[in-house]
Structure 1
Amino acid sequence: MSRVLPLSVYKNMMNRTEVLLIDGCSKYKCPECSGVFQDFRGLKAHLQIHSGDKEFICPHCKKLFFRKTNLDDHIKSVHQKIREYNCTECGRGFFNSSNLIPHMRIHSGVKKFVCDVCGESFTHWGSLKQHSYTHTDSKFVCSYCGNTYKNPKGLASHIRNVHTIYPKSVCDVCGKEFKKKKLLKEHMVVHTSDRPFECDICPSTFKTKKHLRQHYKKHIQISKYQLV
């Protein structure tokens, strides 16, 4: 089980928790970030993020999780690629129905979430929520460096990319470090003589798909020149 924060810590955070009244209902705002929750139970679960306690490690990518259920979901969706819920229109698979249902609105064309300021409509409530910040002067401030963002999504992305420390994947040939195992795998071709990507127009071969795509552009440019 994941570690429970000491009662004294919860009491301290409870004293600093701001209770908001939104649409006639009480909401709990996290004292550490911009997160807002329906009830205090949800806030308490969220506070584990700020506790620094991450106890469950993915055996495949070494990513860390606060709860075993989150780790299990991660393994199923990312590494086992289990997609039990499929879209009947395009066949795209989803890990759960809560992700499939919003996706189906793309095919229906229904945009039932309407901005009450400018009238723009959206297929997803989350898109409307992000849009609503364009009509406010709200600023979301990074507690690490003071940078400000117009919406929580921008702030979260900044913290994830700039301030979050990930277990690093290290190249055992040159020592270069990568945040993701995928990037290390792509890098390793530099240290081999393999050139598995072949151009089907000329005899050229390349180490990566990226270099092959760049090469194809040259053929396209030559074709355009010959047509002139």
Structure 2
Amino acid sequence: MNLVIPSVFEHLKTKCQVLVNGLVCFKCVECLTTVENFETLKTHLKSHSAESDFVCFVCDKLLTRTNILIDHIRSVHQKIRDFSCNYCTRTFSTVYNLREHVNIHTALKKHVCEVCGQAFVHKGGLRSHKFSHGDSRFLCSICGNSYKNPIFLKRHIRDAHTKPSKSICDICGSELKSENMNKHAAVHSTERPFVCTLCGAAYKWKKHLVRHQKNCKETN
């Protein structure tokens, strides 16, 4: 399904708009700070980046920083992959992911298999490879299938036996576990049922209220 997803800042700008004496201002989602323009608000939000949860408005995933949220939406939901590998045809959504991938082509392969001589960039790659030389079999306790590599067994159990039931959000089209759908619905709701008894600030999620009240008590 192709989703029409607004940018992070478009969504945040709409969400934070408030009227103060008839003028459009912007209120911080994490504290009571209200500023006159959106650029000032974006600067202010950085003061919360070490402690705040930024919620993806598409899938409800919690992330710790605004830039991580932006990368998440670009790569996962908008499928934007601007960074291309010069050694192969693969593309990536962030510079970091591209750099990690390029190591496959350029990094020194110092982890060498003593059985066959095949070399690997990462120690984990060698560890996984060694199972190909052994006689051990890893048995699925559910269906009896066996695998030489425990990673393959884990993948089999995940895909064949524990795949969760999914539901589709009627508003944004996100595919989520059925048990998470009610929680996800709060992303699209304007209701803020969790109200601070100290200052009246309201939140969609109880954990945000608990964190806010803790900060209120520390500053009073």
Give the TM-score of the pair, scaled to structure 2: 0.36
**Greater RCO (CA < 8 Å, at least 6 residues apart):** 2
